[in-house]
Amino acid sequence: MNQTIQAISSVSGTISVPGDKSISHRAIMLGSIANGKTYVEGFLNSDDCLSTIRVFRQLGVEIEKVKETSYTIRGKGLNSLKEPQEILNVGNSGTTIRLTSGILSGQSFHSVLTGDDSIARRPMGRIVEPLRIMGAQIDGRENGKYAPLSIRGNRLKGITYKTPVASAQIKSAILFAGLYADKETTVIEPYLSRDHSEKMLKQFGAKLNINKNTITIQPEPELEGQKIIVPGDFSSAAFFIAAALIVPNSLLRIKNVGINSTRVGFLEAVKAMNGSVEIEDIRYYGVEPMADLVIKTSSLHGITISGEWIPKIIDELPLLAVIASQAEGTTIVRDAIELRVKETDRIKTIVSEMRKIGVKIEELKDGFIIEGKQYIEGGRVSTHGDHRIGMAMAIAGLVSKKPIIIENTGVISISYPGFLDDLAKISKS
């Protein structure tokens, strides 16, 4: 499916975005190994999160859809999962394969996880190594570097592990395996990555000790089923924040957005770029904060982003390239080599697609440089099968001289099935 996006005169109205992807995955996973009923409200019905539901159903868990975005999970405890009869297919979801591997490493059965072409290219050695040290028998292509992964679970050993990169997926895989260990497990990150797992593990009753980037989990807790209210996904809201900032005469309100401090690096970036974003009515339903955001068109200027800022903005960096082209001066992104191992090599894909629409952008090994402000000419671009590249290009189209034709927009349903409809609702021609 192709989609044509053209310039509009303003962005306005009030909108809410679907539930947070990271939190939706984790609610299914922890609900599946807790005792008793977990009720999830505001679940993200996107391809990735539905893959997690499918996988845990294959592991014998009763998961029932009760309303459009509400599910109940009947958990029967840490050791209640069943050996799956079929290979577990995670589709495009890196979060599903890596976090589930942590849980499967502690089971007394064998399982195999696989996914699509993108999953087959993504590094799995980063979870296989610590899970092997903990005692799981895991193998995969090239000695465990790539999926499919075959896991024979075991009674695990508690370890102390320094992760080579700040990655919530590595951290969470180890912490989830730590639930099944013989003693405490400690993960030390170079910088803090998103902390939804830590927050939700505590909510379910796990015992965690957190000291900056060092997290220790005690084994064999009694996890109790919970009510989880999933806030709107900040990473989805970011596309509309960007739209309202760069399209003239805009005023947009986005309701119920998750504003966990480990996720909102993009908000900090646009504020530092002189973007007008008000945060209103901060509230908690459970352990995650949410708020309403009010965004106005702004004269942006360039910014430099590196170091510990990167994990907090990682998924929004392709989108940052789009708004940087509309900001005065230089924007530099460094230390973001992790972008190269996402759903696509996002440095390569954003650089190539920005160039196709007439934007000059310099590729760095670990980031990019853009000089603004530039005209966006328009043209034909590809998503490369990457949902966030597709959505970033749609935002570029809103301020483009000629239309942008985006090929293969079906992939946007990986994280935000209704994105193009919601974008149309707030776009005024």
How near is the Cβ of 196 to ligand S3P at its closest, in Å? 7
Binding residue per annotation — 380? no
Binding residue per annotation — 32? no
Residue 47 near ligand S3P by CB under 6 A: no
Sheet of 304-305: strand order equals: 304-305, 329-333, 367-372, 362-364
For every residue of 64-88, DSSP letters joined together read: EEEETTEEEEEEE-TT-----SS-E
| Separate counts of helices (H) and strands (E) for the chain | 15, 24
Residue 169 near ligand S3P by CB under 6 A: yes
How near is the Cβ of 167 to ligand S3P at its closest, in Å? 3
**DSSP alpha helix (H) spans, 247-291:** 265-272
Instruction: Assign 35 to helix, strand or coil.
Output: strand
Residue 138 near ligand S3P by CB under 6 A: no
Strands 208-211 and 185-188: unpaired
Instruction: Assign 89 to helix, strand or coil.
Output: strand
Q: Which is nearer to ligand S3P, 134 or 168 (CB)?
A: 168
Q: 4-33: which residues touch ligand S3P (CB under 6 A)? A: 22
Binding residue per annotation — 121? no
Strands 404-407 and 379-382: parallel
Q: Which is nearer to ligand S3P, 340 or 373 (CB)?
A: 340
- Phi-psi category of 421—alpha, beta or left, where left has phi over 0 and alpha has psi -120 to 50? alpha
Binding residue per annotation — 346? yes
Q: Count the residues of the shown chain that bind ligand S3P, applying the rule CB under 6 A.
A: 11
Among 47, 195, 292, 338, binds ligand S3P (CB under 6 A): 338
Residue 95 near ligand S3P by CB under 6 A: yes
Residue 193 near ligand S3P by CB under 6 A: yes
146 Cβ partners below 8 Å, 6+ apart? 120, 121, 122, 123, 124, 125, 140
Among 156, 168, 229, 347, binds ligand S3P (CB under 6 A): 168
Q: How far is CA 312 from CA 110, 195, 265, 291, in A?
A: 35, 10, 5, 18
Q: Which of 233, 315, 386, 422 is catalytic?
A: 315
315 is catalytic: yes
Which residues belong to the active site? 315
Binding residues for 3-phosphoshikimate: 21-22, 26, 167, 169, 315, 342
Enumerate binding residues for ligand S3P (CB under 6 A).
22, 95, 167-169, 172, 193-194, 314-315, 338
Binding residues for phosphoenolpyruvate: 21, 94, 122, 169, 346, 388
